Structure 1
Amino acid sequence: MFSRLGRGQRRLRFKALARRVAAARPPWPKRAAGGSENRLARLLRRSRRRLRRLPGVKRLGGLRRLPGVRRLGGLRRLRPHYPRRGRTGWRRWLPSPRQIIMTFTWALLALVTLVGWAYEHTAIPTDLNAYATQQDNVYYWADGTEMARVGPVDRQAMPLDRIPTSVQSAVLAAENASFYSDPGVSPKGITRAVATMATGGETQGGSTITQQYVKNVYLNQDQTVSRKISEIFIAIKLDRKMSKQQILDGYLNTSWFGRGAYGVQRAAKAYYGEDVSQLNPSQAAFLAALLKGAGEYDPSMSAANHQRAVDRWSWVLDRMVKTGKLSAAQRATYTKFPEPIAPPRPVGLSGQTGYLVDTARAYISAHSGISDQQFDLGGYQIYTTFQKPKVDALAAAVKKRLGTLDPAGRPADRDVRVGAASVATDGRILAIYGGPDYIKQGFDDADISIVPAGTTYAPFVYAAGLRDGVVRDRDAPRAAVSPSSPYDGDDKVPIQTPEGPYWSRDGKVVKTANAGGRSYGKIPLGKAVADGVNGPVTQLGMDVGLNQVRQASVDAGLLPDSGFAEQIPDFSLGTSTPSPIRMADGYATFAAGGTHTDPYSVLRVTLKGSQMPLKSPAVTHPFTPKVAGEVDDALHDAVGTGAGAGHAVAQAGPGLAGLPGTAPDDTSASFVGYDQEMATAVTLFRIDPKSQLLEPLTGIGGRSKKKPGSDYPTDIWTRYMAAVRPPGDPRPGATPATS
């Protein structure tokens, strides 16, 4: 019927057909039961079948608007079928533009509906975040009594009209230049931040100041999608509820600037010791730089931090020029970085308390999931391992002995310092002496790693030999040694290696050097350690291997990075520089029968009554009880029948073990020893306050060159142990003396 008609004629016929269909009134003609169709119904059905076979029917979408045409089944199938007719190649599989538009429209409508629903159901919280109830962190002694309260809780809010315009402008330039015009959020800012970070450039924060204020006051610092969505919706609502001035006021008074400072007023005090109203634009730019992350921009923390702070400070000033808040002429006057003052120390930390607090806080930082920012908010109760009677007794013993020095009359008595620590056999740090007063000297000499251990290092060499054996000939297997193994104790004996004599870099054979040039002949190894004979200890280190010696000391408790010296023969004489805490911990391993526990200073941490997760100290067994017992025997002999300063230690009571020592260059003197409960290390040294270099102890206290202050640590150790030990405290396993 239509096959020989042209396109125009078909269109006319279709229109005529449409008019005829429209003229037909419902109901649709149906075949009567048992009857025959009328002529019009038959015509329509035949036409519909032929219309389905025509390729042009899909283009007649306009006919669907005509009355009645929508009933033609062929015209209702407007969605494309795959592969699509009339297309070739890959285009046969593409959706039509209409499909794409409709899909996008429906998706957009669904998204708008979802966002609207979420916005409507997100309310501004009525309770403030933890900062609003900031508290002190309270530290407790081991017996549960209060030791110290730390944390500035006298947060001083500063009204916006008292905060200089330069400070406000610096913050806006660094964080949100469009603050006064945006609706609380900035999609453009977020997009720009992501794009700039992808190219490695400097960025403003992706969040607006309103969003950051919401995060500070109502939410938390978690980096989650749900938190970010809540932040955006609350920011939009808050922007409609509060004025921009109120939001900026709240933001400047709640933001974290590091050094325990929340709010711009406390930040000004912490970094410049001044009221915020006294800051100049250069100082304001630095404080604004801290908002990006105080932990990375506080110059006092590291050289890398300092460089980042300078770069960020310069960028903030340039941003202020770009935003019209600072003229180019003013910017040209600020070329020198405004160096902040040293971090102020909290009050109430005088004496030894500050050193104890620093030790405990460092342990929490390394062994818990509490960030510095969370910790500065306060509210934590820290229960430490420190025992007040021992801390007081150790400080008193040091003060008593150093009181005999005459800095005004003897130059050798000047700049004398002492570091000391007591560590229990189970790893608890019981007491430390970090310096005369934390307020006057902030660095902790109990945790310093610049002072040579001296001959107190010998037990680690001895333990390595007993555990690992020795190699005296090339390619020979390791051979065992024992306390009775004979060694040459004479002075100036050439040091041997499996390849022959040890030669120094200047082409000379290295020889042993006993204290005072004394010779002992053949001497059992255990007795050589007890009597402090350097020659056998030096040779033993070469026989065992200095790598094995170093590993044995690390296994005992010394840190792998605790200032290990060059591995030459003198290495066994204590040229390395472990801290007093680590030396005490190493000796505690021998007192514990070869079991080592990492030293720790915190028993538990609680917040609002809930105990916070804290990693348990690691426990290892680096030495067998037999090896530890043989080292223990030598150290007991050193204070019982041994020669030198160690003999005086017996005055503190029975059951003591330990060893005195001096550095090869006489820059330090030490005594490290223990009883059945704890090990204690005492180190004496001099340090030039200008160069920060160690100075010889020669002449200290009017002593001769043969005795350069080596009795000072021994005397301090003895006084301390006599004060803290119960009378007649016996050695484990020994029979108490009877009268």
Structure 2
Amino acid sequence: MGRADARRAQQQRSARRSPRGSADGKGRAGKRTGIRRFFTWKKILGTFFGLMLLGMAALVGLYFYVDEPDPNAEATLQSNTYKYADGTIMAREGKMNREIVTLDKVPQEVRNAFIAIENKSFYEDQGVDFMGVARGLFNTATGRGKAGGSTITQQYVKNFYLTQDQTATRKVKELVISLKVDQRMKKDDILAGYLNTSYFGRGAYGIQAASQAYYGVDSSKLTLEQGAYLAALLQAPSDYDWANASERGKKLVMIRFNGVLDNMVEMGALDKAKRDTLKFQEPVKPKPAPGLEGQKGYLKQAADAELRRQTDMSAAELQAGGWEIVLNIDPKKQAALEKAVDDELESKLDRKDRPVDASVQAGATSVDPKTGAIVAMYGGTGMADHWASNALRTDYQPGSTFKPVVLASALETKAVTQDKKPITPNALYDGTSKRPVVGSKIPFNPQNQDNKNYGDPMMTVQEATNYSVNSVYAQMIVDVKPQNAKKTAIQLGMKDREGWPEDKPAMSLGTMSANTVEMAAVYATLDNHGKKVTPSIIKSAKHSVRAFQKVESVGSQAITRETADTVTKVLTGVVNDGSGKAVKSSAYEAAGKTGTTESNVSAWFTAYTPELVTVVAMFGEEPGTGKQVTLTGTAGGGRAGGSSFPAEIWKSYTLAALKGVNTAKFDLSEAEMGAVQTPSRSSSPSNSPSGSTSPSPSGSQLSPSPDASKVSPSPDASKSSGKPDPTKSGSGKPDPTKSSASPPVLPPFQQQDQP
């Protein structure tokens, strides 16, 4: 056998020993099998580079295909028209507040401030940040938020040529046009265009208008500190405007302000020693545009906020105009609300010579519970004095106006007391001041107003609501569980925002933040037999291009009718016999609740008739600092609680608003007051020198004493006190299936609402 024959024999033997597929995945012919045939490194790399070439080719094609368009519609800005519910015009706004200035009218250090925070490589790049564009396109396509990462050139192109729409198509156009603009224009001209077209808030377009709006100077007079704030502001003008920014907004804009200065040091545009001496300079108070004086500016502010919320529109897009907005505001009711505040509060204040009076701020919202329409709103004395609407502010607590929510949650969840008895309006609780709660991991023993003991010691939930007894409601929320109370609050219309005191008994005293619109939503839902009411200030809004989806003001059942009607029946007791007695009138039937927060920094009165729900609030705010201060001493008086000025405003407004209206009675046929229980001793309040009375062993409720049956009101008690017949339901008709007896009449005493 020759060498050739020996080789062939060897190959044949090897072939017989070889398996069908080798370890490397190849068959007899050395080919890949299965899915591996389609994924080789050569194919992957080839596909990648092929796609890159296609992308580059597409970009080149787009470069020649896309021309620089004419300036966008903002160059011919239209007006926004605001109308009252009856169609009469309230205001027009939208004329472009812009004055073009050349770059030499902006100090160099101020220019550097904008470059430092927006685009440090501005003078070196080609007008586009490709990585930023890719990130923006990915975020937009995947719904992870608005596209970002734009250079100054791209932002100028967006402002001057395109719209604010966050779409992939617009982003691609922005990229191509930016490349062309960067080639055609000088960098200084692009920077000047950017500074003159950017929207800074307060209706100000461009650096010159912004300088005047925020610091009252021309752009040429801006200091570096002022310029650094304006540069930081651009990211979110509405949220970062110091005049009405939340605490979170102020923290965020300060982070950006410091970032501006730190970046300037990194760029070599600012000396480190000088940077350490620079301090934030607070901007001046904003001024309302002509025609938006008085309440008009606040009404527009509320309408704009709702419009933007419903359309996901930026402030700049709204300022571009073209909207016809009809508000739900009834001009007659609006005038009545303004007059009530003037007559019952402002006319009694001496803002010039009495420091406490200078700190008083008032806000109010009035809602039709059947439609959810906000028919009147009061935001303050005027935007020239106080820019942000007091009706919309959320930096104060609602106090005891939250207590009905706790009761609603107890009824809705069928909660029981510590001794396993159902919580109803006739259930008994210990009203001792500073009584430690039982059943909570978190110790809490709140003091009642003036440290009074109520019930000696037992009292009904109805009585505790009438006199807003803190110790009772602190125990009740433990029995209900704070997380359940929070859930009910959100179902009724409150917002789940930062600051909710999770799982703390103190929540019963209204220690979360809320505004008058939210509290109006809660009480309107109760008034509407438990159907969810979402207050809305906009009746309709039209635009030639954009669509507006109106708020669904009346929704499905948030809580059962039985729960809602029972709470309403209890709150009629507050007006007839409790802390809200100041608003009692033969002209209407009302249900409501007073509220005063710790240290008397705010006071609320929230009440409703079958036709109207109105929330009136007062806030103590130190002028210039925004610090929360006490209202005690307002108008030269003592403690200014919810039963004082807010209740007086409420009554004056409600009488005027319902004048000539055939007012109705509450239909409370579904109210369930629970089995009547008699307190073991007298229910009259007493002073508590020590406030250290021990709680009952059961933690919340005691059974009546053997002699409890002897403690009962006289036969004429209900007549002499003006209380309704306890054998009748809320509709005025006897209802043998419901137990709605009022609790025993308490001895008269000076009513005071609780914190």
| TM-score, shorter chain, exceeding 0.5 | yes
Q: Does 1:264 align with 2:207?
A: yes
Gaps of 5+ in 2: 1-28, 32-36, 136-147, 668-729, 733-755
Q: Does 1:399 align with 2:347?
A: no
Q: 1:225 to 1:643 in 2, by over 3 A?
A: closer
Q: What's the counterpart of residue 554 of structure 1? A: 490
Deviation at 1:658, TM superposition (A): 2.0
Deviation at 1:283, TM superposition (A): 5.6
Cα separation, 1, equivalents of 2:427 and 2:56:
89
Superposition map of 1:420-569 within 5 A = 420-425=364-369, 426-473=371-418, 479-483=421-425, 485-487=426-428, 491=432, 497=438, 517=453, 519=455, 524-526=460-462, 528-530=464-466, 532=468, 536-561=472-497, 564=500
Superposition map of 1:569-588 within 5 A = 571-588=507-524
Cα separation, 2, equivalents of 1:511 and 1:255:
54
Q: What's the counterpart of residue 137 of structure 1? A: 80
Gaps of 5+ in 1: 1-81, 85-89, 196-204
Deviation at 1:281, TM superposition (A): 6.5
Of 511, 535, 543, 1:599 maps to 535
Q: Which amino acid aligns with 1:684?
A: M
Whether the 8 Å contact between 2:433 and 2:447 is mirrored in structure 1 is yes
Cα separation, 2, equivalents of 1:683 and 1:296:
24
Q: Does 1:723 align with 2:680?
A: no
Of 611, 631, 650, 2:585 maps to 650
Deviation at 1:129, TM superposition (A): 0.9
Whether the 8 Å contact between 2:400 and 2:510 is mirrored in structure 1 is yes
Q: Which amino acid aligns with 2:496?
A: P
Q: 1:629 to 1:266 in 2, by over 3 A?
A: same
Q: Which amino acid aligns with 2:289?
A: V
Deviation at 1:396, TM superposition (A): 1.4
Cα separation, 2, equivalents of 1:473 and 1:558:
28
Deviation at 1:480, TM superposition (A): 3.2
Structure scoring higher RCO (CA < 8 A, sep ≥ 6) equals 2
Q: Does 1:415 align with 2:363?
A: no
Q: What's the counterpart of residue 274 of structure 1? A: 217
Q: Does 1:680 align with 2:614?
A: yes
Of 271, 287, 294, 1:345 maps to 287
CA deviations 1:401-458 (Å, max 9, x no partner) are: 1223456787765533333221332433332222222210123332344545444333
Deviation at 1:550, TM superposition (A): 3.5
Q: 1:215 to 1:557 in 2, by over 3 A?
A: closer
Cα separation, 1, equivalents of 2:57 and 2:600:
80
Q: Does 1:670 align with 2:572?
A: no
**RMSD, aligned α-carbons:** 4.8
Q: What's the counterpart of residue 525 of structure 2? A: 589
Q: 1:649 to 1:277 in 2, by over 3 A?
A: same
Q: 1:163 to 1:384 in 2, by over 3 A?
A: same
Of 251, 260, 264, 1:303 maps to 251
Cα separation, 1, equivalents of 2:620 and 2:613:
24
Q: What's the counterpart of residue 623 of structure 1? A: 559
Whether the 8 Å contact between 1:515 and 1:534 is mirrored in structure 2 is no
Deviation at 1:603, TM superposition (A): 3.4
CA deviations 1:186-243 (Å, max 9, x no partner) are: 67x6479989xxxxxxxxx987766554443333345666545544554566677777
Q: 1:515 to 1:266 in 2, by over 3 A?
A: same
Q: 1:291 to 1:644 in 2, by over 3 A?
A: closer
Deviation at 1:721, TM superposition (A): 0.3
Cα separation, 1, equivalents of 2:449 and 2:554:
38
Q: What's the counterpart of residue 713 of structure 2? A: none
Cα separation, 2, equivalents of 1:356 and 1:697:
26
Q: 1:409 to 1:710 in 2, by over 3 A?
A: farther
SS across alignment from 2:211: helix
Q: What's the counterpart of residue 39 of structure 1? A: none
Moved more, 171-180 or 454-463: 171-180
- Which is greater in Rg? 1
Q: 1:567 to 1:346 in 2, by over 3 A?
A: same
Cα separation, 1, equivalents of 2:645 and 2:220:
52
Q: Which amino acid aligns with 2:305?
A: A
Deviation at 1:553, TM superposition (A): 2.9
Q: Which amino acid aligns with 1:625?
A: R
Structure (1 or 2) with the greater helix fraction: 1
Moved more, 673-682 or 237-246: 237-246
**TM-score under structure 2 normalisation?**
0.67
Cα separation, 2, equivalents of 1:655 and 1:553:
25
Q: Does 1:216 align with 2:152?
A: no
Whether the 8 Å contact between 1:419 and 1:684 is mirrored in structure 2 is yes
Whether the 8 Å contact between 1:256 and 1:262 is mirrored in structure 2 is yes
Whether the 8 Å contact between 2:361 and 2:618 is mirrored in structure 1 is yes
Cα separation, 2, equivalents of 1:549 and 1:145:
43
Q: 1:437 to 1:495 in 2, by over 3 A?
A: same
SS across alignment from 2:308: helix
Cα separation, 2, equivalents of 1:275 and 1:565:
46
Superposition map of 1:50-69 within 5 A = none
Q: Which amino acid aligns with 2:643?
A: S
Q: 1:497 to 1:144 in 2, by over 3 A?
A: same
Q: Which amino acid aligns with 1:445?
A: N
Superposition map of 1:324-363 within 5 A = 336=278, 339=281, 341-342=283-284, 344-348=286-290, 349-363=292-306
CA deviations 1:514-551 (Å, max 9, x no partner) are: 88545477655445534656665455444333443343
Cα separation, 1, equivalents of 2:153 and 2:350:
62
Of 555, 571, 575, 1:639 maps to 575
**TM-score under structure 1 normalisation?**
0.68
Total equivalences in the alignment: 613
Q: Does 1:711 align with 2:644?
A: yes
Cα separation, 1, equivalents of 2:325 and 2:293:
18
SS across alignment from 2:87: coil
Cα separation, 2, equivalents of 1:106 and 1:665:
71
Whether the 8 Å contact between 1:446 and 1:581 is mirrored in structure 2 is yes
Q: What's the counterpart of residue 76 of structure 1? A: none
CA deviations 1:326-370 (Å, max 9, x no partner) are: 6x7899589525636246333233322232222222323333221
Whether the 8 Å contact between 1:253 and 1:262 is mirrored in structure 2 is yes
Whether the 8 Å contact between 2:198 and 2:205 is mirrored in structure 1 is yes
